[in-house]
Structure 1
Amino acid sequence: MPKKRYTRDLANWVCELQYEDIPDRVIEECKNQALSVLGAAYAGTRTAAGAAVLRTVRGLSHGGPCALLPDGEPASLHDALLANAGLSMALDYDDYMVSAHSGHSAALVPLAMAQAMDVDGREFVIAQAVANEVEARIGTSVLLGPLNGQMWSFVHAAGAAVAAGRLLRLDPGQMASALGIALAQPPHPTKPGFMGGGSKLLTAALPASQGVIAAHMAASGLSGPQDILEHPQGFCATFSFTPLLSALTSALGKNWLCETLSYKIYPGCAYLDAAMDCLFEILKNNDIAPAEVKRVDAHASIMTVKMDESALPFVRHTLSAPETLNFFLPYNLAAGISDGRLSWEQFTPERIADESLWKLIRKIHVRHDIKYTKALVDAFTNLVDLRKVAGSLSVGAVRSMLSHFGLASPFLLVSRGREVGELLKEGRKALQKFITGEEDQGPVEDESLLASTANEFQMAFGARVSIRTAAGEFEHEQDVPFGAAGWNLEEKRLCVVQKFERESAGVISDEAANATFERILSLETLDAAGTRLIGSA
């Protein structure tokens, strides 16, 4: 049995945290996240799938105290969560951090709750901060598992539960129950459901609603397992080959994982961002017509390559779903070369149906460069001390990871930068020297697992793009995507402000956009009446 009561310790922290305990940097990241999420939701209203979600919610809704984005139409709490989180998910235009894509729940649950009850700006920030931190830590606890990234949709249930629970003023026992209820039946998508069409829009919306319901149930006296995270048959054991339990509480309140928050400035998966940065830097300095392109090579980490491979079975040429193409780098590069930008406009059915894009796609090649994979591994091992993980891995756990992921296995991380292929060539004996042995050693409970460097973390999703034309070859390299952790707070703020302004234009009035912008930037000073107006048209 685990040595600590991780679920209860996490619940205690959520309940006891005071506004003054939150670093200024984290407060400013919460504002960045709110602006980014709203920008993504406004862009989502332009999509066919986003319009379908809004039609459905409007057809089922009977009004209420909350507001639907973008125009503030009255709705119930859960209708608002369903619509707003669906819109923010529509173009994969979200924020992300170490082990979570949290904004759909961490920002939108406090927003909806603030419209349903009295919540001042400081309470809003606390709820958002605890949701972010809990989601990141739960994601990290199952880092060595069969799912990753947005497939960890269960984090939204947990984040929503603690955000709502904090605003409902649950005590620690109730908060632990809220987590236990939220994760009693953990939601997660299938690959076709996530990659293959508009069903992806509900990836965060339904779990977030589940988490809020869990908090209300706990407030009404419904009990949940107080050890849902650490129980030998509980959440972490179910979703990880080797649970990293200590990630749940290591340096909690001192090392804020939400300082790794990163913001997308283009629609699509984070693993394509650096390549798109490279492309637009090339185009900014060179006049390249699509017809002149002979070949494009995008060199990136194993994660970008595997993203492409995951999307490929769902690519249907001119009939491809936008949700698929958000993960298919060749389409994004082709659209960027042809149109000089990447926005919601490149993901309309009409644009996807353009045969000239698909002709260009055939000239685009995505290649693995071990340089970028090693940089990614180094970045993560600087944050999570994976030497402590290696000693707990059994041969069986390693075999399961390699079988499930191949060369994209989390074993890349615990091999401390060594190429997996090289390690495997040394044979079974080498593996057994590296890890403990055949028997499962149980979850990792070393409380020093997380380094105290989250505010220095770099989201090393690097890439290099080269374009060959008759006039010559043009190349650019980007180590950290614009808007991602590794850029300073002011640089990230500029990215999200531009995103908010760009995506709100034409969707809501300039007056409404300016009012929302000012309220978010002064969030900690708002009273309940002020927070209630955020996001209202």
Structure 2
Amino acid sequence: MPSLLRTLTSWAAGLDLADVPDRVVELAGSQILSQLAAIRAGLAHPLGGRLVRAYGPPRQADPRQAACVLAALGSWLNLDDTAYAGHLGNSTVAVPLAYAGPRELDGRRLLAAVIAANECAARITAAATLGPLRGQSALHTHLAGGVAGRLRCEDAPPDRWTDALSLAFSSPPWPVMHAFLGGDAKLFNAFTPVRMAMDSCDAAAAGLGGPEDVLEHPDGFLSRFATVPLPEVLTRGLGERWHTETLSFKVRPGGPGVDAAVDCAVRLHPQLPGDWLERLDRIDVDASVYTVHVGERSGRYAEGPGAALSSLLLAVPYCVATALLTGDLTVADFQEPAVRDPRRWELAARVRLRHDARLTRALFDSTAPFGEALREAGPRAVDWLGQLGGARLAELLDPAGTPAVDFADAVKRTPAHVTVGLTGGAVHRAEQDVPVGGNGPDTRARHGELMRHKYLTHGGSPATADAWADLAKLSAPEVARLVAASLPRVPAPR
């Protein structure tokens, strides 16, 4: 019987765009445009210039190095999109973009590479989602995304996929969260695993390999990286259960846990009276355990103007305070002079983040970030939930929940309620169930429009955005020119 890895790679290596539903192809097209916007934003930030000085620009002769730079630039402002499971595009889009020109990919082959990489990376990440590492801290996502993205571009045979992934997962990276939240190390959360993926591809091409049961073996990857391993999701519903269909698109910087609360604050901003700061009594953010957990962990690092960017992006008080004051949350809010604005920090200090069990139940009932994994695990999930937020969390699970047959109706609920109370009794309140851009009916209906706006917001041209909408029709030379036009050759002026 073939290993799970061999089954997955044999399917992905042979994936043709004609086998993919149109709605999934369209989501992948929006994902590419979204990731390009994230890369442009990362390049324009001061830290982007430092990264480029160290490793070169996103457009360079060696596609392996270009892939690493693209991965890093797109990841660290949290403008990268998420799925069940993982922050995929930092490898699944970045690597195919780097190889599109050198491998002379037309639009259909580029889309097929992104989708194949998504499906491999999301499934492997989902198998370990009920563990200590999730989101951007799950660096192993990009081992899979990097290998699959490159080898699909190269039309490599399935055996090479299996060899490269078995090598990549022989030494998967594990981040030190103190460095991740307390300094600039977050710049490497995608760079390093993508580089490992490129090395693994080179090694496999030279004839090296590893055990093909490296994922599910009792002493393999899942035994170390998952509290509750879910090896069955690696191959469940291949060609029917499209993880690409679970994509949530980021419309603003900041960790996914802050999105719904920021949406609420943006809506409240125009409703508040001119003297609301003088009359302020309280700001309450009620949220699920997901948002509270991230907020508490980052809060130890995001305590004032000197906070590292990586912690600010996850800090609910800073993000909500900024959105209430300005009516938005932008990349400029995570650099000087904004990060030294005393009004933001004074207001952030008055934000109270509170757990609401009803919102956690809604979180668990959704597909992402880990509701589907909880249904896969069933009773086995209890221990992991205890580690996340205490034994009582298990009481919020629906005992009748079963895994989804497909993800056509997937949804990502990370709900939040924001209340601004003023002296004299006036109360202003907003609620958000699915964040703007989050996986669900609204995003399925207008993801193209949302991502076009995101791309234009970060300096892309309307003509280039329109060209990406026709990607499946483009020839290889047209794709090469479009990628070049979408990626600035040098950093923006400092």
TM over 0.5: yes
Deviations 1:270-321 (A, max 9, x none): 1111111111112244445544433211111011000111102212411111
Counterpart pick for 2:397 among 412, 416, 440: 416
Structure 1 pair 174–275 and aligned structure 2 pair: CA distance change class (3 A): same
Aligned residue for 2:337, secondary structure, equals helix
Find out whether 1:327 has 2:281 as its counterpart. no
Aligned residue for 1:461, secondary structure, equals coil
Deviations 1:401-460 (A, max 9, x none): 3664343x8x94797248xxxxxxxxxxxxxxx9xxxxxxxxxxxxx9741241211111
Aligned residue for 2:367, secondary structure, equals helix
Residue in 2 that maps onto 1:28: 26
Specify the code of the residue in structure 1 equivalent to 2:27: E
Counterpart pick for 2:377 among 385, 389, 403: 389
Residue in 1 that maps onto 2:122: 136
Residue in 2 that maps onto 1:475: 429
Counterpart pick for 1:308 among 295, 309, 333: 295
CA contact (8 A) 2:267 2:327 kept: no
Find out whether 1:154 has 2:140 as its counterpart. yes
Specify the code of the residue in structure 1 equivalent to 2:404: A
| In 2: Cα distance, 1:518 partner to 1:385 partner | 37
For structure 1, the 5+ residue unaligned runs are 59-67, 419-433, 435-447, 506-512
Counterpart pick for 1:378 among 361, 365, 378: 365
CA contact (8 A) 1:180 1:228 kept: yes
Counterpart pick for 1:531 among 473, 476, 479: 479
Counterpart pick for 2:218 among 215, 220, 232: 232
| In 1: Cα distance, 2:7 partner to 2:121 partner | 15
Deviations 1:228-259 (A, max 9, x none): 11111111111112311110011111010110
Residue in 1 that maps onto 2:490: none
Shift of 1:261: 0.3
Structure 1 pair 138–239 and aligned structure 2 pair: CA distance change class (3 A): same
Specify the code of the residue in structure 1 equivalent to 2:299: L
Number of matched pairs: 481
Residue in 2 that maps onto 1:52: 50
| In 2: Cα distance, 1:196 partner to 1:385 partner | 30
The TM-score with structure 1 as length reference comes to: 0.84
Find out whether 1:246 has 2:232 as its counterpart. yes
For structure 2, the 5+ residue unaligned runs are 486-494
Residue in 1 that maps onto 2:491: none
RMSD over aligned Cα atoms: 2.4
Residue in 1 that maps onto 2:418: 465
Structure 1 pair 414–185 and aligned structure 2 pair: CA distance change class (3 A): farther
Structure 1 pair 415–479 and aligned structure 2 pair: CA distance change class (3 A): closer
Shift of 1:375: 0.4
Aligned residue for 2:44, secondary structure, equals coil
Specify the code of the residue in structure 2 equivalent to 1:115: G
CA contact (8 A) 2:103 2:154 kept: no
Counterpart pick for 2:40 among 42, 51, 58: 42
CA contact (8 A) 1:41 1:88 kept: yes
The TM-score with structure 2 as length reference comes to: 0.91
| In 2: Cα distance, 1:498 partner to 1:210 partner | 33
CA contact (8 A) 1:247 1:450 kept: no
Shift of 1:170: 1.8
Residue in 2 that maps onto 1:164: 150
Specify the code of the residue in structure 2 equivalent to 1:350: P
Specify the code of the residue in structure 2 equivalent to 1:36: S
Residue in 2 that maps onto 1:205: 191
| In 2: Cα distance, 1:314 partner to 1:285 partner | 31
CA contact (8 A) 2:254 2:314 kept: yes
Shift of 1:210: 1.7
Structure 1 pair 233–209 and aligned structure 2 pair: CA distance change class (3 A): same
Specify the code of the residue in structure 2 equivalent to 1:213: D
Q: Percent identity?
A: 31
